[in-house]
Amino acid sequence: MDKQHLLKQCRSLVPLATMREYHLLAALDEAVEVTACKDDILLGDQDDKDCLYYLLSGEILLTHQGGQQRIITADFHWLPIVQFQTEEFEARAITDCELIRFNRKKLDNLLTWSQVADYLEVDISYERKYDEDSSWMTTVLNSNLFYKIAPLNVLSIFSKITPKEVKAGDVIISQGRAGEYCYFIKAGRAVVSRVSKMGEAEVSVAEISANRCFGEDALIDNTPRNATVTMLTDGVLMCLHKNDFATLLIEPSVSHMSFETLDTMKDQSFEFLDVRSQEEFDYKHMIDAVHIPLVLLRLKIRLLDANKHYLIYCNTGSRSSAAAFLLESKGYNVSLLDGGLAHISQDDVKRLLVSEFDAIHQLADISS
């Protein structure tokens, strides 16, 4: 399927619709398109429990353990076909179908990155001291260079990047030499040049200006620079050393709590905080949970009580980890629900979760 057409279709899916285009395209690069013929059995392998499937066209009969059956129709179903990894089910194609498959954890990491970037952009816009820096900071947040970084460390990125004033004619990186820094252009212009073969003249291949990044290969491997970058004008570069980048790959610790320990905390005062999208919350959420999507956390943080203990959750633990770290940095008392709802047992689904609308308006019940 054409990627732009696929991108448009994904804009109607939950929670993909909330992702920035940069991050959604990165998710699509790793997604797998699946086709099924009428009467094919789908999603039966153990490996499928680590994946999320969305139905793009056609109809599927979903049979849950216990015999409950539902027909899922692509035109009226925007959530993943199966939400929880612990669900036992069989899916059979009623018609020829097209689906798209994402790795559950990788997708949630990209979703977290996208929404933390939104949080930080709002944070940046609130701080007058960042007025001159907002453009290059936005470039950093949109760079696929940082997808490997734990989302909890996003706040630390800017503290690791240092400014460097440069002059016209300064050679910033040289082809063939080892690199230690990645650079973001805050101000000025530079030219990228390359020698194709030994003895040949150097040829200009591109010109780069403010809010562009270069030299990022130095952060992820030790290969020599493949081009030379020279400043055309005076300017300012923001520099990130590979050793500092390495520290960003290490995930910081946040207080955790498992489903198994919830029953032992009945006498302790805490509230659940759900940081997923509105549609995910409506489908299933913890009883009496407060709901603030991660993407809106910076705008609605004032609604939280600094004297309460919040137990934060999402689907896999990725978005909730970021939310917990962000709230902890603001002085809130928070803990993280281990693994998220994806790992909740079916007994706990019945005991702890409620739905705002029964099994979704998008599903047609054909048996009870």
Using DSSP, state whether 315 is helix, strand or coil: coil
Does the pLDDT value for residue 287 go beyond 70?
Answer: yes
Nearest to 271 by CA among 308, 301, 297: 308
As assigned by CATH, the class of the 3-106 domain is mainly beta
Does the pLDDT value for residue 359 go beyond 80?
Answer: no
Lowest mean pLDDT among 29-33, 106-110, 185-189, 228-232: 106-110
Q: Which two tokens stand for residue 352?
A: 């702890």
How far is Cα 336 from Cα 219, in angstroms, rounded to an integer? Answer: 30
**Coarse DSSP helix, strand, coil percentages of the chain, rounded to the nearest 5 percent:** 35, 25, 35
Average pLDDT over residues 348-361: 67
CA distances from 154 to 177, 249, 325 (A): 29, 10, 10
Asked if the domains 3-106 and 160-240 are classified in one and the same CATH topology, the answer is yes
Confidence (pTM): 0.75
Q: 291 and 281 in contact (C-beta within 8 Å)? A: yes
- Residue 172 CB-density burial (10 A; 0-12 exposed, 13-18 middle, 19+ buried): buried
H/E segment holding residue 238? strand 235-241
Using DSSP, state whether 159 is helix, strand or coil: helix
Distance of CA 237 to the CA centre of its chain: 27
What type of residue is 296?
Answer: L
Distance of CA 47 to the CA centre of its chain: 21
The domain segmentation of the chain, as residue ranges, is: 3-106, 160-240, 256-357
Q: What is the pLDDT of residue 153?
A: 77
Distance of CA 308 to the CA centre of its chain: 28
SS3 of 265-294: HCCCCCEEEECCCHHHHHHCEECCCEECCH
How far is Cα 340 from Cα 256, in angstroms, rounded to an integer? Answer: 11
How far is Cα 207 from Cα 218, in angstroms, rounded to an integer? Answer: 20
Does the pLDDT value for residue 94 go beyond 50?
Answer: yes
Burial letters 325-338, b for 16+ CB under 10 A, else e: bbbbeeebebbbbe
- Residues 235-261 pLDDT 10s: 999 999 999 988 887 777 778 888 777
Q: 118 and 15 in contact (C-beta within 8 Å)? A: no
> With respect to CATH, is domain 160-240 assigned 2.60.120.10?
yes
CA geometry: angle at 357 spanning 352 and 360, to 5°?
105
> Is residue 143 left, alpha or beta, with left meaning phi > 0 and alpha meaning psi from -120 to 50?
beta
- Residues 180-224 pLDDT 10s: 999 999 999 999 999 987 777 889 999 999 988 898 888 877 788
Q: What is the pLDDT of residue 31?
A: 94
How far is Cα 153 from Cα 135, in angstroms, rounded to an integer? Answer: 20
Q: What confidence category does residue 289 fall into, taking pLDDT thresholds of 50, 70 and 90?
A: very high
Q: What is the pLDDT of residue 86?
A: 64
Does the pLDDT value for residue 291 go beyond 80?
Answer: yes
CA distances from 187 to 51, 130, 136, 166, 244 (A): 43, 15, 9, 10, 23
- What is the third-level CATH fold of 256-357? Oxidized Rhodanese; domain 1 (3.40.250)
How far is Cα 118 from Cα 110, in angstroms, rounded to an integer? Answer: 12
Top pLDDT among 263 and 93 is at 93
Using DSSP, state whether 143 is helix, strand or coil: coil
Which residues on adjacent β-strands are paired with residue 55? 99
Does the pLDDT value for residue 165 go beyond 50?
Answer: yes
217 Cβ neighbours under 8 A, 6+ residues apart: 179, 223, 225, 226
